[in-house]
Amino acid sequence: MMSWTSCAIIATSLFCILTSEAIAQGAEPDGACSPVPQPVLISLRSAKPLQGQEERAVKPLDIFKECAACPEMVVVPPGHFVMGAPETEESSYEDERPQHAVNMVRPFAVGRFAVTFDEWDACVAEGGCRRWRPSDRGWDRGRRPVININWDDARVYVTWLAEKTGKPYRLLSEAEREYVTRAGTVTPFWWGSALSTGRANYDGNFPYPRGEMKDVYRGMTLPVDCFRPNPWGFYQVHGNVYEWVEDCWHPNYKGAPTDGSAWVTPDCDRHVLRGGSWDFAGWHLRAAARGLVASYVNHLAVGMRVARALDN
């Protein structure tokens, strides 16, 4: 059977269609920064846009890719969840409440990883992304997450991706981001209630729960395929880089949408960040934790992840 590695070597224009069985294969021990686990190869197809029956046939947790330089996408299971944090969750904030039920009514897929420098630089090489090459701080580009991009930059990237593929790529909504982070779980992190730098990249000088022993502070990003993926196959939904979402900032969830859509207002100048970062304390990595920053700010702790609506 052909491995993921040999599949990638054959040609950059080829890509493996994977099913949900692939996601659990080859997980490395906690703390490992290893290559993408070798999945079970189901079939081989050109890395080109899904069309017609092929798109309608994808199943939850299937993985696809629509161009050689495009992000790998995971089909998100339908369902519902409770968004936000209970008052009893340590280090939670009032902007994470009231908790409310959200029903994910529209089929969609989400990037398996944060967008990488390789993927961003491919956009620039084709004359897109305003030809902006954000600094990598000397940490190397490649499979590390793109950083130093503002919200408008993130929107320009998804616009280029949509034009290149002819498919509806976009940023995630805040509800979608929390839904795929939790992946059916209800604890602060998808694996439970305690955090370590063997599971995520953050400032280990500020542990979670508070009062625990201090841990490692790496002081930089790591490649996007470090650490185990969550139960739905998404990598680094906690830590490494904050990720822009579509939503404007609101100080709480009163009046928030309940269908998974983005909560936007005309001409807002602050947008939501999700996920926490290499340079932030552990409590900022919780599934319910929210961040905000002015939309024009480029920050070395901020990157992005993409979503795509599905016709199935």
Flag whether 36 is in a domain: no
> What whole-number distance in Å separates Cα of residue 240 and Cα of residue 279?
8
User: Is 283 in a helix, a strand, or coil?
Assistant: helix
Flag whether 41 is in a domain: no
- Residue 160 belongs to a domain with what CATH number? 3.90.1580.10
- Domains held by the chain: number: 1
Flag whether 282 is in a domain: yes
Flag whether 42 is in a domain: no
Flag whether 138 is in a domain: yes
pLDDT in tens, the chain (312 residues): 223 222 332 223 334 444 444 444 333 444 457 554 444 333 456 799 999 999 999 999 999 999 999 999 999 999 999 999 999 999 999 999 999 999 998 999 999 999 999 999 999 999 999 999 999 999 999 999 999 999 999 999 999 999 999 999 999 999 999 999 999 999 999 999 999 999 999 999 999 999 889 999 999 999 999 999 999 999 999 999 999 999 999 999 999 999 999 999 999 999 999 999 999 999 999 999 999 999 999 999 999 999 999 997
Eight-class DSSP state of 187: S
Flag whether 172 is in a domain: yes
Flag whether 86 is in a domain: yes
Joined tokens for residue 281: 């304390």
Joined tokens for residue 158: 């998804």
Residue 267 burial by Cβ neighbours in a 10 Å radius (0-12, 13-18, 19+): exposed
> What whole-number distance in Å separates Cα of residue 135 and Cα of residue 250?
30
Residue 211: per-residue pLDDT: 86
Range of the domain at 139: 76-309
Flag whether 55 is in a domain: no
Residue 41: per-residue pLDDT: 39
